[in-house]
């Protein structure tokens, strides 16, 4: 991204900002990555008959980015906005709301409110975490969306549609179709589910999107989904969840975060990243059970939690003094 | 409050300290406010046939204030005590225990223990939050009372009485009486429920109590309850909760906190306060669902959470450098 | 422990490190204490027909200690390892897994993974808590084991066996055998349950183990279990839990922590310790209800939470400037 920001016309600047917001979901400050992510989202949401998810993504990334600019002279740093850091939580809110709630005008109003708050909440959470040099990751999205999904149990204006039934009965049926072709599909869906899309084609779009920005990130995404699939099979998770890629998405994000974002890629950090990716599968299963009494999705909570757990010990994995978030955008530019 | 503390006789000092403890529930370091709050509590609790709530309030504020003085030479700052900051959590514990648990001697013993701990826990929580210049608000009350309400599920000595049944089934019946007179009642009850009182007359007492100390605070309390009522109706919350004012009390506190306590009143902070008040309604609904499996009340948890979320970004809303809690008592004196 | 580490042969060094890991569960950096703890664990687990618990303890302490040495040149301080601080979370993981999950190879694989992570997670949690001079205590064990016990609801490879059924129905049957002999048994079991052992003989082993290292610690353990028993009886907890010592173990740990580990033993700290021990019983009951929807044990969570609550106010109980964790190992040497 060598284009000088000052020479961009306003429209191009806006488009680039929004597209980068998509790219930052997987730590890529790259508008082309964001564009390919959106293509994958549109493909997948139309393929699965839920186009409102794709339009939600657009509304969400716009609302959360606008929320940042509204407060840009009161402490919301515009440099964050330019790099897409106001958009990545909002685009995920935009994918999640129409996935789990009925397509009503009150849902869209809540979507806009929730997406906007993520930008402010991100700043607050980052302030909280600053002393330990960690970052809120996608947790503003997770936290605010959980609140609104809980609201869907208490408000007729936010009707559940696509949410699991609340339960405290746990019966695991681990049977699944284990043909090679099916395994490849689950592996690709694991990547697609980062944006809550249940389509293997979208997984290919996403791998291509990552490769445009960083080959290493694409490889770690692929490896992360594969490791998660293997661990999930060995420990016998729900077959239905496995087939929809629901054990992959958090592991994909952990793998990109630990493998090539917060540490320089090398042998030591690769080992650490693999351990972290394996642990993510247990955190995913554990949080699935945790949220069952309300029928809520974990969203990318397992990724956030595991990545924090593996950054907080501050183990030295490379020649840099310590994992330091402020550098991770520079690495991608 | 220009009276010099040194010239007060001990009895007057004690009375003023306890009354200020009541006033601080809504951020007013003012004994007259506290007195009118207590009048409203006594009126409402006798009106609804539960006088033990009013007496609980007196026991609670006394126990938590005494707890502070016991440790005043070990690190519990007496200046906090004088300003009523040892009493506001205790008075809320005292209202909550007889509201949700049966009137037994073990309940009263637990009430005293819980009220006392809130003073120490407040100091601990404030230490935790000090780096971000935020305050534990009423969370010591919320946190410790939740623990004891959970105990009411596990101890025969703390019998539930007035607690909801635990459930993981969610059916929202949003019908409610929408005549203008009824809406005014719900609006006033929203203010009264800050102290867990289900009486519109008490709401008038509370507005008067605020006006004695700060007209601006009274206006924000009124506006906060009105906004909450409107948002709750638009999104279709439970009609029964609406009619009891259960969507109002946290919004009232958020409005006073953001509108005139932690920021100076002006256009920017007013907009921020209105957004925060709207978000409080969603946090309230979300936390209602969160606590449903145990049948626990959210207490003022939604107010605490939302206020923190809106203070932590540290947006600059006025000419003061940053929201700084240490100033909020001075503002009220 | 005056033996110079440098003169120990490698095998003796390893054995001492592992045994100290056991001892540190109750804050004793003493290999003889650890040896007697292990004797008690072996006795109790064979007596109750679950020898896998004792072998799990050995595997757990070894795995978590090895995990520290693997990263000893990347930021895991070897001085922690020597003092047994890498082992105490792992030994508890090793006791908990075979207690709550079926004896399968996947359970043992998960036990090793979980035990190893506790060492890294402890370093992370300690980093988080460092600004307030508190310590993660046994919370790395609690937190990671909760995650894996939740996994047991979602993975056929981690089958529940010994876990309670998930429920949101709360009926307390407080009847229990109150003969003097029985009360002594419950009191001793309260101490034994620190390592999840349901045997009064083990309780005697543990008291002896503490006395070898510190008479004061042994007295506080005994007093803590007795206070917990009294408070639990007064407030009418579940008789079955009472009879298994399940209200004692957290109180025992709180008593040792506040009575003679983080404060110097004196009148003021003794009073504070007694209050903390009483509060632990309510936290125990409350967390029992909190975890009921998943049928999970609280583990030593109530001890961690209560001890933090009583350290965070930073009340001055002795002539030392403030409770400072870095000194507690020195106190025991």
pLDDT in tens, C73-119: 888 888 999 999 999 999 999 999 999 999 999 999 999 999 999 99
**Average pLDDT for C231-243:** 97
Enumerate domains of chain A plus CATH numbers: 5-332 (1.10.3430.10)
Tell me the C-alpha distance between B138 and B157, whole Å. Answer: 26
Residue C329 or residue A211, greater confidence: A211
- The candidate with the shortest Cα–Cα distance to C256, out of C205, C213, C316, is C213
pLDDT in tens, B26-48: 999 999 999 999 999 999 999 99
**Average pLDDT for B253-270:** 95
pLDDT in tens, B5-27: 567 898 999 999 999 999 999 99
For A161, other C-beta atoms within 10 Å of its C-beta total: 15
B155 and C278: CB-CB below 8 Å? Answer: no
Give the list of residues 6+ apart from residue C153 with CB closer than 8 angstroms, or none: A170, A172, A289, A292, C160, C166, C294
A150 and B234: CB-CB below 8 Å? Answer: no
Which letter does DSSP use for residue C168 in this model? S
Which letter does DSSP use for residue A48 in this model? T
DSSP per-residue codes, C71-110: TTTTT--HHHHHTTTTTHHHHHHHHHHHHHB---HHHHHH
**Average pLDDT for A133-161:** 97
Tell me the two tokens of residue A47.
Answer: 């393929």
Instruction: State percent of chain A over pLDDT 90.
Output: 87
Tell me the two tokens of residue C128.
Answer: 């988080």
A140 in Cβ contact with A91 (< 8 Å): no
pLDDT in tens, A82-108: 999 999 999 999 999 999 999 999 999
Q: Which of residues 197-236 of B touch A (CB under 8 A)?
A: 234-236
pTM value? Answer: 0.94
Phi, psi of A26 (to 5 degrees): -110, 35
Instruction: State percent of chain B over pLDDT 70.
Output: 94
> Closest to B157 (Cβ–Cβ): which among C132, C234, C290?
C234
**Which residues sit opposite C101 in a β-bridge?**
C160
Over 80: is that where the pLDDT of A325 sits?
A: no
pLDDT in tens, C151-188: 999 999 999 999 999 988 899 999 999 999 999 999 99
pLDDT in tens, B175-205: 999 999 999 999 999 999 999 999 999 999 9
Query: Which chains, if any, share at least 3 CB pairs under 8 A with chain C?
Result: A, B
Q: Which of B240, B285, B317 to mutate to test the interface with A (most CBs of A within 10 A)?
A: B285
Over 80: is that where the pLDDT of A6 sits?
A: no
pLDDT in tens, C198-235: 999 999 999 999 999 999 999 999 999 999 999 999 99
How far lies A86's CA from each of A72, A76, A125, A140, B81, in Å? 11, 9, 13, 11, 43
> Closest to A75 (Cβ–Cβ): which among B234, B237, B313?
B313
**Average pLDDT for A249-257:** 98
Residue A3 or residue C166, greater confidence: C166
- The candidate with the shortest Cα–Cα distance to A192, out of A72, A27, A63, A36, is A36
> Closest to A151 (Cβ–Cβ): which among B268, B285, B312?
B285
State the pLDDT at residue B77: 86
State the pLDDT at residue B323: 53
Instruction: State percent of chain C over pLDDT 70.
Output: 94
Q: Which of residues 63-92 of B touch C (CB under 8 A)?
A: 71, 74-76
Q: Which of C174, C230, C279 to mutate to test the interface with B (most CBs of B within 10 A)?
A: C279
Q: Work out the widest C-alpha separation in chain A, in whole angstroms.
A: 59
For B9, other C-beta atoms within 10 Å of its C-beta total: 8
Residue A329 or residue C114, greater confidence: C114
Over 60: is that where the pLDDT of C3 sits?
A: no
Over 70: is that where the pLDDT of C145 sits?
A: yes
Instruction: State percent of chain A over pLDDT 70.
Output: 94
Tell me the C-alpha distance between C166 and C143, whole Å. Answer: 19
Residue C214 or residue C328, greater confidence: C214
A269 in Cβ contact with A243 (< 8 Å): no
Average pLDDT score over chain A: 93
| HEC-encoded secondary structure of chain B | CCCCHHHCCHHHHHHHHHHHHHHHHHCCCCHHHHHHHHHHHHHHHHHCCCCHHHHHHHHHHHHHHHHHHHCCCCCCCHHHHHCCCCCHHHHHHHHHHHHHECCCHHHHHHHHHHHHHHHHHHHHHHHHHHHHCCCCCCHHHHHHHHHHHHHCCCECCCCECCCCCCCCCCCCCCCCCCCHHHHHHHHHHHHHHHHCCCCHHHHHHHHHHHHHHCHHHHHHHHHHHHHHHHHHHHCCECHHHHHCCCCCHHHHHHHHHHHHHCCCCCHHHHHHHHHHHHHHHHHHHHHHHHHHHHCCCCCCHHHHHHHHHHHCCCCCCCCCCCCCHHHHHHHHC
Over 60: is that where the pLDDT of A112 sits?
A: yes
**pLDDT grade, residue A291 (50/70/90)?**
very high
Over 90: is that where the pLDDT of C322 sits?
A: no
- The candidate with the shortest Cα–Cα distance to C303, out of C224, C218, C241, is C224
B166 in Cβ contact with B136 (< 8 Å): no
Over 80: is that where the pLDDT of A327 sits?
A: no
pLDDT in tens, A38-68: 999 999 999 999 999 999 999 999 999 999 9
pLDDT in tens, A199-246: 999 999 999 999 999 999 999 999 999 999 999 999 999 999 999 999
pLDDT in tens, C293-302: 999 999 999 9
* Chain C interface includes B286 (CB < 8 A): no
State the pLDDT at residue C319: 73
Q: How far is B324 from chain A (nearest CA, A)?
A: 15
State the pLDDT at residue A328: 41
* Chain A interface includes B294 (CB < 8 A): no
- The candidate with the shortest Cα–Cα distance to A97, out of A192, A163, A39, is A163
State the pLDDT at residue A222: 98
* Ramachandran assignment for C131, one of left (phi > 0), alpha (psi -120 to 50 degrees), beta (any other): alpha
- The candidate with the shortest Cα–Cα distance to C331, out of C229, C228, C247, C216, is C216
Average pLDDT score over chain C: 93
Tell me the C-alpha distance between A229 and A252, whole Å. Answer: 11
For A215, other C-beta atoms within 10 Å of its C-beta total: 11
State the pLDDT at residue A330: 41
State the pLDDT at residue A317: 87
Residue whose structure tokens are 């003169």: C7
Over 50: is that where the pLDDT of C309 sits?
A: yes
DSSP alpha helices (H): ranges in C173-248? 180-192, 200-213, 215-234, 239-243
> Closest to B166 (Cβ–Cβ): which among C170, C287, C316?
C170
Q: How far is B309 from chain C (nearest CA, A)?
A: 20
Nearest-by-CA chain B residue for A108? B235
**Average pLDDT for A143-163:** 96
**Average pLDDT for B301-316:** 96
Over 50: is that where the pLDDT of C60 sits?
A: yes
**Average pLDDT for B299-322:** 90
Q: How far is B70 from chain C (nearest CA, A)?
A: 11
**pLDDT grade, residue C7 (50/70/90)?**
confident
């Amino acid at each position: 991204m060598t284009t000088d920001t000052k020479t961009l016309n306003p429209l191009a600047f806006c488009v680039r900002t929004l597209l980068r917001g998509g790219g930052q979901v997987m730590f890529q400050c790259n508008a082309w990555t964001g564009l390919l992510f959106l293509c994958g989202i549109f493909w997948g949401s139309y393929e699965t008959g839920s186009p409102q998810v794709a339009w939600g993504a657009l509304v969400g990334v716009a609302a959360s980015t606008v929320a940042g600019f509204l407060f840009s002279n009161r402490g919301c740093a515009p440099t964050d906005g330019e790099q897409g850091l106001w958009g990545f939580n909002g685009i995920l809110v935009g994918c999640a709301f129409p996935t789990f709630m009925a397509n009503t005008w009150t849902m869209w109003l809540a979507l806009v409110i929730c997406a906007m708050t993520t930008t402010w909440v991100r700043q607050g959470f980052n302030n909280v975490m600053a002393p330990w040099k960690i970052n809120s990751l996608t947790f503003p999205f997770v936290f605010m969306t959980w609140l609104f999904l809980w609201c869907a149990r208490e408000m007729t204006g936010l009707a559940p549609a696509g949410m699991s039934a609340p339960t405290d009965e746990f019966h695991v049926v681990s049977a699944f179709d284990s043909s090679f072709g099916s395994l490849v599909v689950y592996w690709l869906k694991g990547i697609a589910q980062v944006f809550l899309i249940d389509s293997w084609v979208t997984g290919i779009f996403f791998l291509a999107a990552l490769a445009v920005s960083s080959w290493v990130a694409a490889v770690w995404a692929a490896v992360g989904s594969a490791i998660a699939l293997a661990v999930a099979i060995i420990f016998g998770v729900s077959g239905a969840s496995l087939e929809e890629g629901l054990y992959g998405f958090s592991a994909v994000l952990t793998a990109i975060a630990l493998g090539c974002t917060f540490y320089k890629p090398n042998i030591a950090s690769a080992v650490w990243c693999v351990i972290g990716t394996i642990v993510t599968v247990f955190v995913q299963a554990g949080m699935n059970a945790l949220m069952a009494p309300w029928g809520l999705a974990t969203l990318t909570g397992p990724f956030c939690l595991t990545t924090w757990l593996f950054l907080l010990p501050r183990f030295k994995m490379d020649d840099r003094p310590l994992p330091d978030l402020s550098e991770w955008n520079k690495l991608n530019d």
